[in-house]
Chains A and B, each alone.
Chain A
Amino acid sequence: MTSTHSSRDSNVVIEMTDVNKWYGTFHVLKDINLKVNRGERIVICGPSGSGKSTLIRCINSLEQHQKGSIIVGGTRLTSNLKGIEEVRREVGMVFQDFNLFPHMSVIENLTLAPIFVRELPQKEAEELALHFLKRVRIEEQAYKYPGQLSGGQQQRVAIARALCMNPNILLFDEPTSALDPEMIKEVLDVMIELAEENITMICVTHEMGFARTVANRIIFMDEGEIVEENEPEAFFNNPQYDRTRFFLSQIL
């Protein structure tokens, strides 16, 4: 899978060209073209079933595309998954349902991959974990288990877990959709802080306030296609397509 591509433009970290994907006969992604630059913060929105999650899951090969090419950090993703771990350690992911490992304490959740994938010594991995727990303001919960934390706390742990791999790219798959209203803000605050640090972020979310504050670019998807993409101001104030206008009128 890892045929290294010397990208002409070294600033491009993700390059998707004519990407197509089917679930059985269902055409879920249609001719997706997307270039993401280093440090860019992209918000993807759209109605459910429009292919947003599938799109970002293709970036770390949790789903595989069937046509077109995806190049992540100079590596072309193919259907052969050998060596995919190399790409995945560069791409952190935060899920809607947190997906913390329930049988491990918070600190074990955070140190697992650094110890076994990055091969850090345990002590160093723990220091790293505590550092990131502090950044998501939850270091006092380090020795608790995921089941003992609230949804918002769990999601912040999940963010810290992704950060512990020191990724170049962070993917967020509807990170606040499973949270109680009172907890959405604490997660968004953490994400806004991250956005200030020049890490490349791609975020599927319906939090339009968040999108307006942090995104460089907003992508609107429907029916497996990118309908339109633009800077936040232009996107919200002057959407080009009627479909986008209708969507925005529904959620704003």
Chain B
Amino acid sequence: MVTSNTQSDALIFRPLPAQTPPLSLTGPLGWLRENLFNGWFNSLLSIGCLVLLTIIIPPLLSWTIFDATWAGNADSCRESSGACWTFIGHKFQVFLVGTYPSSEVWRPALAGGLLVLLSLGTVCRVFSKFILISMWLVFPFIMYLLVNGGLGLPIVDQSRWGGLMLSVGLALVGILISVPMGVILALGRRSKIVTIKSLCIGIIEPIRGVPLITILFMASVMMPLFLPENMQINNMLRVQVGIILFSSAYMAEVVRGGLQAIPQGQIDAAKAVGLNYWQMNVFVILPQALRHVLPSLVGRCIALFKDTSLVIIVGLLDFLGMAKASTQDSNWLGFDAEAYIFCAAVYWVICFSMSQYGRSIEKRGPSEH
């Protein structure tokens, strides 16, 4: 501390200037020391990993890229020792849209393109919050119209829907409906009104207690037994409802966790300024609660997307189902690895994008969400 006397008796306090940290703590060398070689055990681990990587990577690269077949037919694939990407190219349409009639493929393609544009628009935040939400709410209807037909477009029977289109469709509608439903169930579960509370618990707990496969079976096989004979609800819709119910129950518990993290003072303050129950929840409680649980919420959305692959159990061929079916083609036997790697890659790209987007929202300041 530097002090000096002035004419008056008081001492003047002057804080010391801040200094930069010593060089050995910063820079790339500092980083290496800090992260890879701090202590003998970590150094050993780092070296071990390096050795492992040099063993694994070269054969992996030669199989996937250098020795791989990129053109030709099944026979040219069998002659080479690498991966057969020709197979993927050949089956590309089946992977994406299943057995959707070729003449109409532009429709799901257009829907997919719109979805990508909408997602990009969301990530780059070119629209206001209100427009964005309404576009996401309208989009499923446009998607349905395009894929299903109607308004002049010929109807395509739902038995011909499949592939990635089906996975994305089920997941998207599932997410868009189950998040708000989860919020309502979570609020209901915390309600002081006993009937509402027990109703919500009565929905959430049984659903959380059974596997998704059970619910899909119930929806697909057992529900028609209970319905009157002349009442037909198609399989796709029943499966979709099953997925929504299952996901809502989980979303509800995630949201409830967030609601519990809100201090009582926030509720008091919201009430004290005269907000009613819904205003309090919409403007004060939920924005904070959802923000707290955003990582788990995004996690649930990703899980939901991946869980749609279970619809193969009830006879729907989603992306993974189509990949599996394609490997059974007698002209293209023996390329299971390529099919599954392609599937994994596509799933990874979509899920990773969702999780990155989730992180980017988390990082935004309180001003921006």
Chain A residues close to B by CB (< 8 Å): 57, 60, 62, 85, 88-89, 91-93, 95, 97, 99-105, 112-113, 116-117, 145, 147, 158, 161-162, 165
Interface size class on chain B is 20 to 34
Tell me which of B265, B275, B276, B283 contacts A95 (CB under 8 A). B265
**When the two chains form their complex, are residues A103 and B268 in contact, meaning their CB atoms are under 8 A apart?**
no
- Taken together as a complex, chains A and B put the C-alpha atoms of A165 and B366 apart, in Å, by 25
Q: Which residue of A lies closest to B284 (CB)?
A: A101
Tell me which of B266, B268, B274, B366 contacts A85 (CB under 8 A). B274
- With a cutoff of 8 Å between Cβ atoms, the chain A residues found around residue B279 in the complex are 116-117
Question: What are 6 A-B contacts defined by CB distance under 8 Å?
Answer: A57-B268, A88-B273, A93-B269, A101-B288, A103-B287, A103-B369
The verdict on B271 contacting chain A, using a C-beta distance below 8 Å, is: yes
**When the two chains form their complex, are residues B367 and A85 in contact, meaning their CB atoms are under 8 A apart?**
no
**When the two chains form their complex, are residues B274 and A101 in contact, meaning their CB atoms are under 8 A apart?**
no
- With a cutoff of 8 Å between Cβ atoms, the chain B residues found around residue A88 in the complex are 271-274
**When the two chains form their complex, are residues B275 and A117 in contact, meaning their CB atoms are under 8 A apart?**
yes
If the complex has contacts A99-B265, A99-B268, A147-B366, are A165 and B291 also in contact, measured as CB distance less than 8 A? no
- With a cutoff of 8 Å between Cβ atoms, the chain B residues found around residue A104 in the complex are 366
The total number of A-B Cβ pairs within 8 Å is 71
- Taken together as a complex, chains A and B put the C-alpha atoms of A145 and B273 apart, in Å, by 19
- Taken together as a complex, chains A and B put the C-alpha atoms of A179 and B274 apart, in Å, by 26
If the complex has contacts A112-B283, A116-B279, A117-B274, are A103 and B366 also in contact, measured as CB distance less than 8 A? yes
User: Chain B binding site: helix, strand, loop or mixed by DSSP?
Assistant: helix
Q: Which residue of A lies closest to B268 (CB)?
A: A62
Q: Which residue of B lies closest to A63 (CB)?
A: B268
How distant is B134 from chain A, measured CB to nearest CB, in Å?
Answer: 20
Which residues of chain B from 244 to 287 have any CB-CB distance to chain A below 8 Å in the complex? 263, 265-266, 268-276, 279, 283-284, 287
**When the two chains form their complex, are residues A62 and B272 in contact, meaning their CB atoms are under 8 A apart?**
yes
**When the two chains form their complex, are residues B265 and A117 in contact, meaning their CB atoms are under 8 A apart?**
no
Q: Which residue of B lies closest to A147 (CB)?
A: B366
- With a cutoff of 8 Å between Cβ atoms, the chain B residues found around residue A100 in the complex are 269
| Closest 5 A/B residue pairs (Cβ) | A99-B269, A89-B274, A113-B273, A93-B272, A99-B265
Tell me which of A97, A102, A161 contacts B288 (CB under 8 A). A102
